[in-house]
């Protein structure tokens, strides 16, 4: 964006002969630059006019721009001075134009921004007051609406339904009068209650005014500077509260993550505990099996020792054994044969003796029976 002073200088320096030498495109660009510069100058003029009307309300009209000083409203140490510059025109006359420096322009713009912020704050406060008033009106309307609904329900319950005569079907007037008298008494009691509350609030207001007056006399009342300081401290404390809230949120997230990790480790610990219990039971069973194996090993070792002893004894016997001669073997076989024949003959003799014994026993039994019969006197023929 072109500066207003450069645009003004270019517009002053432009002559008709030079304008005639330019092309249509250059003239179009020059016209756009001049229009843009005019808009900038117009905005600056409007801003300076507002600033001047606010600083010097008595000064107005088109001649206000001829002032050479513009004192600041909140700074008494320095003045905004307007510099005068000379510029030549097409004619021979000399005009004096007042030009503001860049610092003065920035100062005016900053003050206008502050004023706009103050106006926005005031409008915001007024809007909040209006909104609060509307909210209070809405709440009051809601309360009155609820009271009207309640009154309508009570009237319908007590009068339209409860005060109707069963025989005639008409509303009893005494009940209506009693109903409205009760309503009036309740309204009077509410008015008396509100009056007492209003008087109490007035007394409190009077006390607060007296306390405020005493503080003003003692110099303890807070001034605008104190309120500004309190606002600054409040903003600082709010920032600290926001930081603490962020820290708290971060710590909550860390606590949540830690809790998740802790739960995961707890599950892992539970799994490992179950696995440990299983391994302990398996180790105990393996130990019992190992004890049994050790016992069996000892038993087997004893049996092995016994077997080795028997084997050693048998080996010793085998080493001490001598094979007989062939002649001795033949003699032993002959003797074995003779003995076998002798055994068979004796076995035959034993069989014959057994048979003879059986015969003699049978004869003996018969003789005993005969003798027994003779002793009893039986005849021999019977025998």
Same domain, 307 and 361: no
Report the number of distinct structural domains present in the chain.
4
- What residues contact 379, with CB distance under 8 A and at least 6 apart? none
Domain assignment of residue 111, yes or no: no
How far apart are alpha carbons 19 and 38 in whole angstroms?
19
Domain assignment of residue 107, yes or no: no
Rg, Å, the chain Cα set:
69
* 377 SS3 class: coil
pLDDT of residue 172: 72
Give the pair of three-digit tokens for residue 133.
């008033």
Average pLDDT over residues 140-168: 81
Give the pair of three-digit tokens for residue 324.
């007989």
Average pLDDT, rounded, for the chain:
79
How far apart are alpha carbons 266 and 223 in whole angstroms?
61
How far apart are alpha carbons 98 and 45 in whole angstroms?
12
Q: Is the pTM of this model over 0.85?
A: no
Average pLDDT over residues 52-70: 56
How far apart are alpha carbons 360 and 368 in whole angstroms?
12
Same domain, 28 and 57: yes
Report yes or no: 339 and 352 within 8 Å, Cβ to Cβ.
Answer: no
Helix H or strand E segment including 98? strand 94-99
- The residue ranking higher by pLDDT, 21 or 310, is 310
- Give per-residue pLDDT as tens, 181-223: 888 888 899 899 989 999 999 999 999 888 888 877 776 555 6
Does position 174 have pLDDT exceeding 60, yes or no? Answer: yes
Domain assignment of residue 114, yes or no: no
- Give per-residue pLDDT as tens, 81-130: 333 333 344 443 434 456 777 788 788 888 888 888 888 989 998 999 99
Give the pair of three-digit tokens for residue 291.
């004890």
Does position 28 have pLDDT exceeding 70, yes or no? Answer: yes
Containing domain of residue 382, as a range?
A: 324-383
Which of these three, 196, 224, 252, is where a domain ends? Answer: 224
Does position 349 have pLDDT exceeding 60, yes or no? Answer: yes
Does position 14 have pLDDT exceeding 50, yes or no? Answer: no
């Amino acid at each position: 964006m072109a500066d207003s002073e450069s645009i003004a200088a270019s517009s002053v320096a432009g002559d008709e002969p030079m304008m005639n030498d330019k092309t249509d495109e250059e003239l179009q660009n020059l016209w756009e630059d001049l229009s843009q510069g005019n808009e900038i100058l117009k905005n600056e003029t409007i801003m300076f006019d507002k600033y001047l009307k606010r600083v010097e309300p008595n000064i107005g009209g088109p001649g206000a721009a001829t002032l050479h000083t513009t004192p600041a409203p909140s700074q008494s140490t320095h003045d905004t001075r307007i510099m005068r510059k000379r510029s030549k025109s097409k004619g021979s006359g000399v005009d004096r134009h007042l030009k503001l420096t860049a610092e003065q322009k920035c100062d005016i713009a900053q003050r206008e921004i502050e004023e706009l912020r103050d106006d926005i704050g005031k409008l915001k406060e007024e809007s909040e007051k209006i909104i609060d008033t509307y909210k209070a009106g809405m709440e009051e309307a809601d309360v009155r609406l609820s009271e009207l609904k309640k009154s309508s329900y009570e009237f319908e319950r007590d009068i339209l339904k409860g005060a109707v005569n069963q025989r005639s079907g008409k509303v009893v007037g005494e009940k209506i009068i009693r109903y409205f008298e009760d309503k009036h008494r309740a309204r009077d009691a509410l008015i008396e209650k509100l009056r007492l509350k209003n008087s109490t609030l007035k007394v409190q207001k009077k006390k607060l005014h007296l306390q405020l007056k005493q503080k003003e006399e003692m110099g303890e009342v807070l001034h605008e500077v104190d309120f500004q300081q309190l606002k600054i401290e409040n903003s600082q404390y709010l920032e600290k509260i926001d930081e603490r809230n962020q820290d708290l949120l971060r710590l909550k997230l860390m606590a949540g993550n830690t809790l998740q990790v802790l739960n995961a480790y707890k599950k892992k610990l539970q799994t490992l505990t179950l696995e440990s219990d299983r391994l302990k039971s398996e180790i105990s069973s393996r130990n019992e099996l190992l004890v049994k194996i050790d016992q069996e090993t000892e038993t087997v070792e004893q049996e092995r020792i016994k077997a080795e002893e028997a084997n050693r004894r048998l080996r010793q016997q085998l080493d001490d054994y001598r094979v007989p001669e062939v002649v001795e073997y033949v003699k032993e076989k002959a003797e074995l044969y003779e003995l076998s024949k002798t055994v068979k003959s004796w076995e035959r003799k034993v069989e014959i003796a057994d048979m003879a014994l059986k015969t003699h026993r049978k004869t003996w039994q018969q003789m005993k029976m005969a003798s027994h019969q003779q002793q009893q006197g039986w005849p021999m023929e019977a025998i």
